Amino acid sequence: MSEDDLVAVSQLRSSAMRLARRLRHQRVEESLSPTEMGVLGTLARCGKATPGELARKEHVQPPSMTRIIAMLEEKGLVRREPHPEDRRQVVVSSTEEAEQILNESRRRRNAWLAELAEGLDEDEWERLKAAAPVLYKLAHL
């Protein structure tokens, strides 16, 4: 790995962490913790999931996920149904209201980021736009 590559990696690392920290401050729903938002996000992607699956995906221990789901259910953002085949398990799915909150949150953060990007000149923005799909792929590898 070349010196240039190392510099790029380091820049990517610190940029991602700093951007994420600043984006986190933009969250629209003050009553929802980042982890709760994360759960809603994965539910939006996957449709439905059991508490155990959600705990693994969010890197949280099962008891914590139990409480997070209880919170979300109390707020009407999530539904719990018995598992059709395994009566130990539970199936969790998100409600319509949760989708709206997610969309609003994404909209707000996009707006904030777009405003920040005003500070870039034309050429810089082109380069960033060209790399955006790659960054997306990297983040999901």
Determine whether 98 is exposed, middle or buried from the number of CB atoms within 10 Å of its CB (0-12, 13-18, 19+): buried
Report the residue number, 44 or 60, with the smaller CB distance to DNA.
60
Of 140, 123, 134, nearest to 8 (Cα)?
134
One character per residue 17-56, x = contact with its own copies (rule: CB under 8 A): xxxxxxxxx------------x------------------
Q: Which of 5, 30, 74, 96 binds its own copies (CB under 8 A)?
A: 5
Report the residue number, 34 or 82, with the smaller CB distance to its own copies.
34
Tell whether residue 13 is a contact of its own copies (CB under 8 A): yes
- The CB-of-37 to its own copies minimum distance in angstroms stands at 10
Q: Which residues bind DNA (CB under 7 A)?
A: 33-36, 50-53, 55, 59-71, 80, 85-90
Which are the contacts of 99, defined by CB distance < 8 A and separation ≥ 6? 44
Tell whether residue 139 is a contact of its own copies (CB under 8 A): yes
* Binding site partner of 82, from its own copies, DNA, none, Cβ cut-off 5-8 A by kind: none
Per DSSP, what are the bridge partners of residue 92?
A: 49, 80
CB 76 within 8 A of CB 97: yes
Three-class SS state of 140: coil
Size of the site for its own copies (CB under 8 A): 51
**What is the C-alpha to C-alpha distance for residues 87 and 113, in angstroms, rounded to an integer?**
45
